[in-house]
Amino acid sequence: MTALRRRKGKKPQNSEPQSEENKEKKSNETEECSNTENLNLNPGCSSSSSTSSSSSRRRKWSCVDSCCWFIGCICSLWWFMLFLYNAMPASFPQYVTEAITGPLPDPPGVKLAKEGLQAKHPVVFVPGIVTGGLELWEGHSCAEGLFRKRLWGGTFGEVYKRPLCWVEHMSLDNETGLDPPGIKIRPVSGLVAADYFAPGYFVWAVLIANLARIGYEDKNMYMAAYDWRISFQNTEVRDQTLSRIKSNIELMVATSGGKKVVVVPHSMGVLYFLHFMKWVEAPAPMGGGGGPNWCAEHIKAVMNIGGPFLGVPKAVSGLFSAEAKDIAIARAVAPGVLDMDVFGFFQTLQHVMRMTRSWDSTMSMIPKGGDTIWGGLDWSPEEGHACSSKKKKNGQTSGHNKTGDLANSVRIKYGRLLSFGKDVADLHSSEIEMVDFRGAIKGNNLANITCRDVWTEYHDMGIGGVKAVADYKVYTANSILDLLHFVAPKMMKRGDEHFSYGIADDLDDKKYDEYKYWSNPLETKLPNAPEMEIFSMYGVGIPTERAYIYKFSPATECYIPFQIDTSAEGGEGGPCLKGGVYSVDGDETVPVLSAGYMCAKGWRGKTRFNPSGIRTFIKEYRHAPPATLLEGRGTQSGAHVDIMGNFALIEDIIRVAAGATGEEIGGDQVYSDILKWSDRIKLKL
């Protein structure tokens, strides 16, 4: 359908210039004729001249009909090409590619199949936020005809066709965090749930295809699709998703002759699976009642891809002002949506905010561990980090500007996750005047009668509240939580029942049996499974959002009152600051610190978080952009989602699935400064 529409859209544009061309051609013809007319030789001329006598009739014909003519021409051409394309042998693109770039390396599946690797351990995929498909099971009348059609994932056609209806159905209830009455949106099940996010935009498909090469198929691969909008425990309450995963893992272990499963979670799926591991061993009413050895008996390895163990700073800006550059890939896929006025009157962002704030799961990714992990006002673990552009310069003139580097490292205070104004971000803490916002009276409501049905909690805040927020100037990971409680009390109230962001002092405290702590690695113990292995696999080498500079929005009633100050640029001194965002090393979404810390230090050896001494491995993959256009999204990418097509990563997964251990695939593989940074974090282990 989209192809159709696109074609339709193009047509008028194309036909215009070409019709002009036609006119020119005609005039050329007549010129030719006039040349030859004297001799009266050319029959074509005579005819055209004869028709020119009845030119008025002819003109009429050409006006409307040449339009049709060109449409016809283009259509025929299009079909012809389509026909050729369909008739083309499937391997043709590969021939072309190889002709240009030389022979491509075998995909890892083929390579390893040649080495004799075979399917051994069943594989479980746990997709992350946003990448899983959602389909409609029950809806309001505006969603007629969409029964069991995808609302999320696929072509997103409905976003354009009936945007308000779409937003209404995608939102959850503001109080309960579950379905609004009369609407049922459920996750798509099976491998199709997240193999492709949109046509041609793979997520798991490449990995699945490669696993299939060594003998995997539906019976020993399982996609643990869940509704990524709702909180983890609610997926069990509403859909019994956790029970289903448990039962499927048990089934796969039983049918494959007692081989334990290899779990491959991605992005938020990492947290979801942490939650699962605690849930499955917890006794029945709240948990799955699998007994204390369930994980040891059923899981061989957990291979976390791009795991935001400790949260992502992006989530903060996403919740605060709906401006996450791409909290996953929503923007990348539909770049126009957020900026256009699809929803009428420029309220797109407000709609998005209203919708995303009803999704509990986004709160699972708020930075965890507070100032201890993410740094205080004047300190942060990453402070020595030099951004990529700077590094390159260093490479050229090595050792030359060590001082500049040092100055740079002093200046960037990543600990200040949010600061109002660039100057504030650079000041020393003693120089900042902070006015506490916590007690501030929120003041009278902004008049929001004109704002239609767009409802964000900002409208309850009033000007006084907004001002108080800005007056506090600087927020660290600790105070961010207070800030979010202040600006979005309802949402955080919901979130507090399901998630926690602190660090446990005494892990044996009874309160940590509560499910809200299960997805926070700093407040739970790993299961008692000494033979299990945990891998942390993530990309490095891409600037990743870490801290933000904010400003007031121009005060109009319907706007979100804060926005990222895109004018704040680092300039020569600080290349890490760009468009109001301080960036650090990572995979474009998750900073290295969040992805790697637990495996690098938090769980390394026997610690209080890892009482049975589960072995952990760090596997970093340096980002290399695709060399040619033909490579698509690259076979060496380190980006958060594109890494799923990274050959090195796929090879590692296949080897482990075929029975290898962490040592056998080479142990740690570290490119970033994660070990140095981890040492700076003073966490009781």
Partner 1 sequence: MGSILRFRKLCFLEPVKFTSNDEKRKAEEEKQLSPSPKVDQKTSQPAAATTTALLKDKTKKKPLKEWRCIDSCCWTIGYLCTTWWLLLFVYHCLPANLAGLKAPEPPGSRLRRDGLTALHPVVLVPGIVTGGLELWEGRPCSEGLFRRRLWGGGSFTEIFKRPMCWLEHLSLDNETGLDPPGIRVRAVPGLVAADYFAPGYFVWAILIENLARIGYEGKNMYMAAYDWRLSFQNTETRDQSLSRLKSKIELMYITNGYKKVVVVPHSMGVIYFLHFMKWVETPPPMGGGGGSNWCSKHIKAIMNIGPAFLGVPKAVGNMLSAESKDVAFIRAMAPGLLDSEILGLQTLEHVMRVSRTWDSTISLLPKGGETIWGNLDWSPEEDHVCESAKKFDAKGNNTDGRRDFQVLESTNYGRIISFGKKSSELLSSELPTLGSQEQASLQNGNSQVSNVSCGKVWTEYDEVSRECIERIAENKVYTVKTLLDLFRSIAPKTMKRAEAHFSHGIAGNLDDPKYNHYKYWSNPLETKLPDAPEMEIYCLYGVGIPTERSYVYKVSPSSRCRSIPIQIDSSADGSQNGCLKGGVYFVDGDESVPVLSAGFMCAKGWRGKNRFNPSGIATYVREYKHKAPANFLEGRGLESGGHVDIMGNVALIEDVLRVAAGGSGVELGGDRIYSDIMKMSEKIKLRL
Binding partner 1 by CB under 8 A: which of 184, 391, 438, 490?
A: 184
Binding partner 1 by CB under 8 A: which of 52, 240, 553, 567?
A: 240
Binding partner 1 by CB under 8 A: which of 33, 192, 198, 624?
A: 192
- According to DSSP, the residues that pair with 302 across neighbouring strands are 263, 534
Q: Is 218 in the site for partner 1 (CB under 8 A)?
A: yes
Rounded Cα–Cα distance for residues 242 and 287 (Å): 9
Q: Is 558 in the site for partner 1 (CB under 8 A)?
A: no
> Angle at Cα 358 formed by Cα 353 and Cα 362, nearest 5°?
80
| Catalytic annotation present for 640 | yes
CA 401 → CA 22, 207, 570, 577, distances in Å?
Answer: 64, 44, 18, 19
Which residue, 151 or 353, is less far from partner 1 as judged by CB?
151
Which tokens is 302 given?
């957990």
Rounded Cα–Cα distance for residues 297 and 530 (Å): 11
Which residue, 209 or 624, is less far from partner 1 as judged by CB?
209
What is residue 566's DSSP assignment?
A: T
Rounded Cα–Cα distance for residues 535 and 291 (Å): 24
Q: Which of 426, 587, 642, 652 is catalytic?
A: 587
Site pattern 300..339 for partner 1 (x: CB under 8 A):
----------------------------------------
> Angle at Cα 322 formed by Cα 556 and Cα 576, nearest 5°?
105
- Relative to beta strand 577-578, strand 581-586 is antiparallel
Which residue, 184 or 428, is less far from partner 1 as judged by CB?
184
Report the site for partner 1 in 252-291 (rule: CB under 8 A).
254-255
Cα dihedral: 229, 231, 233, 238 (round 10): -40
Q: Rounded to an integer, what is the distance from CA 34 to the centroid of its chain?
A: 66
Binding partner 1 by CB under 8 A: which of 3, 441, 449, 629?
A: 3
Rounded Cα–Cα distance for residues 269 and 263 (Å): 10
Binding partner 1 by CB under 8 A: which of 33, 37, 250, 460?
A: 250
Rounded Cα–Cα distance for residues 165 and 306 (Å): 33
- According to DSSP, the residues that pair with 305 across neighbouring strands are 266, 537
In the complex, minimum distance from the CB of residue 23 to partner 1, in angstroms, rounded to a whole number: 14
Which residue, 147 or 345, is less far from partner 1 as judged by CB?
147
Q: Is 186 in the site for partner 1 (CB under 8 A)?
A: yes
Instruction: Write the CB contacts of 309 (distance below 8 Å, at least 6 apart in sequence).
Output: 270, 271, 274, 368, 521, 536, 594, 595, 597, 598, 602
H or E element that contains 186: strand 184-187
The answer to whether 207 touches 644, Cβ cutoff 8 Å, is yes
The answer to whether 652 touches 641, Cβ cutoff 8 Å, is no
Q: Is 69 in the site for partner 1 (CB under 8 A)?
A: yes
Q: From 185-193, 344-352, 430-438, 487-495, give the range in contact with partner 1 by CB under 8 A.
A: 185-193
Q: From 184-192, 393-401, 408-416, 468-476, give the range in contact with partner 1 by CB under 8 A.
A: 184-192
The answer to whether 347 touches 559, Cβ cutoff 8 Å, is no
Q: Which of 195, 594, 640, 652 is catalytic?
A: 640
Q: Is 666 in the site for partner 1 (CB under 8 A)?
A: no
Total residues at interface with partner 1 (CB under 8 A): 63
In the complex, minimum distance from the CB of residue 42 to partner 1, in angstroms, rounded to a whole number: 6
What is residue 683's DSSP assignment?
A: -
Which of 128, 582, 135, 141 has its CA nearest to residue 362? 128
The answer to whether 128 touches 138, Cβ cutoff 8 Å, is no
Q: Is 40 in the site for partner 1 (CB under 8 A)?
A: yes
Place of tokens 């090409």: 81
**370 torsion bin: left (phi>0), alpha (psi -120 to 50), beta (else):** left
Binding partner 1 by CB under 8 A: which of 34, 35, 47, 389?
A: 47
Q: Is 209 in the site for partner 1 (CB under 8 A)?
A: yes
Rounded Cα–Cα distance for residues 292 and 191 (Å): 30
Q: Is 65 in the site for partner 1 (CB under 8 A)?
A: yes
Site pattern 129..148 for partner 1 (x: CB under 8 A):
--------xx-----xx-xx
Binding partner 1 by CB under 8 A: which of 14, 111, 180, 244?
A: 244
Q: Which of 15, 231, 267, 419 is catalytic?
A: 267
Q: From 214-222, 493-501, 614-622, 661-669, give the range in contact with partner 1 by CB under 8 A.
A: 214-222
Binding partner 1 by CB under 8 A: which of 42, 388, 394, 448?
A: 42
Report the site for partner 1 in 148-167 (rule: CB under 8 A).
148
| Catalytic annotation present for 266 | no
In the complex, minimum distance from the CB of residue 474 to partner 1, in angstroms, rounded to a whole number: 47
Report the site for partner 1 in 72-131 (rule: CB under 8 A).
72-73, 75-76, 79, 82, 86, 90-91
In the complex, minimum distance from the CB of residue 661 to partner 1, in angstroms, rounded to a whole number: 27
Q: Is 219 in the site for partner 1 (CB under 8 A)?
A: yes
CA 50 → CA 44, 54, 183, distances in Å?
Answer: 10, 8, 70
Q: Which sequence positions are flagged as catalytic?
A: 267, 587, 640
Residue ranges in contact with partner 1 by CB under 8 A: 1, 3-4, 8, 32, 36, 39-44, 46-48, 50-51, 65, 67-73, 75-76, 79, 82, 86, 90-91, 137-138, 144-145, 147-148, 184, 186-187, 189-192, 195, 208-209, 212-213, 217-219, 239-240, 243-244, 247-248, 250-251, 254-255
